[in-house]
């Protein structure tokens, strides 16, 4: 997920080192062609089925200082996703076959993490931008706020009817 994780800051920063890791070993690269390839992303997609996977670490350089960004790649599903640095996950994205080949080459000879340890397979939670009530709910809400004239009209009719009854009784 280096591509998505880095995309927002790509203009000001660059990946200077990438590591592909399994449970017992890692392989590091500083090859600019490889680093450029793993920066390529794709469209967001639903999570993959559990499958063997690798941890990917990318070191971003910010003019002398840097930081590491974590992601997970599932080569058999041609997917990658980043960690959000707050204990959660970003969206899964599809990666192109040539990028999958780069990851496979980096991971050659490294035992992957087992499929049962792959996390972040739940669909991402829905995000609500705006709540729009159906028309009948808006009317009910307006009536509760005194926005409808119906209670006033009903009250007026009741008063007139009550006054009419008083007048009819007085005349008798």
| CB 79, CB 1: distance < 8 Å | no
Which of the 8 DSSP states describes residue 113? B
pLDDT at 144: 56
pLDDT at 29: 93
Tell the residue number behind the tokens 């062609």, with chain if given: 33
Residue from 18, 73, 66 nearest 42 by CA: 73
* Spatial distance between the Cα atoms of 92 and 42, rounded to a whole number of angstroms: 9
Which of the 8 DSSP states describes residue 52? -
| CB 95, CB 45: distance < 8 Å | no
pLDDT at 10: 45
Q: How far is CA 62 from the centre of its chain?
A: 26
Per-residue pLDDT of the chain (172 residues; tens, 9 = 90+): 444 444 444 445 688 899 999 999 999 999 988 888 887 778 888 999 999 999 999 888 877 778 888 899 999 999 999 877 777 778 899 999 999 999 999 999 999 999 999 988 876 666 777 877 776 655 555 555 555 666 666 666 666 665 554 444 455 5
| CB 43, CB 36: distance < 8 Å | no
pLDDT at 96: 92
* Spatial distance between the Cα atoms of 26 and 24, rounded to a whole number of angstroms: 7
pLDDT at 33: 86
Residue from 87, 82, 84, 89 nearest 41 by CA: 82
pLDDT at 149: 64
Hey, what are 91's tokens? 């969206």
State whether CATH 2.60.120 applies to domain 2-117.
no
DSSP-derived secondary structure for 103-165: HHHHHTTPPPBPGGG----SPPPP--S-----HHHHHHHHHHTT--SHHHHHHHHHHHHHHHH
* Spatial distance between the Cα atoms of 54 and 122, rounded to a whole number of angstroms: 18
């Amino acid at each position: 997920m280096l591509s998505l994780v880095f995309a927002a800051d790509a203009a000001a920063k660059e990946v200077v080192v990438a590591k592909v890791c399994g449970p017992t070993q890692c392989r590091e690269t500083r090859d600019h062609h490889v680093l450029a390839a793993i920066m390529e992303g794709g469209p967001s997609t639903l999570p993959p089925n559990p499958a063997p996977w690798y941890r990917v670490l990318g070191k971003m350089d910010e003019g002398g200082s840097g930081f590491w960004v974590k992601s997970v790649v599932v080569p058999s599903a041609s997917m990658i996703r980043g960690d959000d640095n707050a204990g959660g996950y970003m969206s899964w994205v599809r990666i192109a076959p040539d990028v999958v080949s780069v990851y496979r080459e980096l991971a050659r000879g490294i035992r992957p993490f087992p499929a049962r340890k792959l996390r972040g397979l739940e669909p991402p939670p829905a995000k609500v931008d705006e709540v729009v009530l159906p028309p009948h709910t808006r009317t009910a809400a307006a009536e509760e706020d005194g926005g409808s004239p119906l209670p006033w009209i009903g009250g007026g009719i009741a008063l007139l009817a009550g006054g009419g009854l008083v007048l009819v009784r007085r005349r008798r």
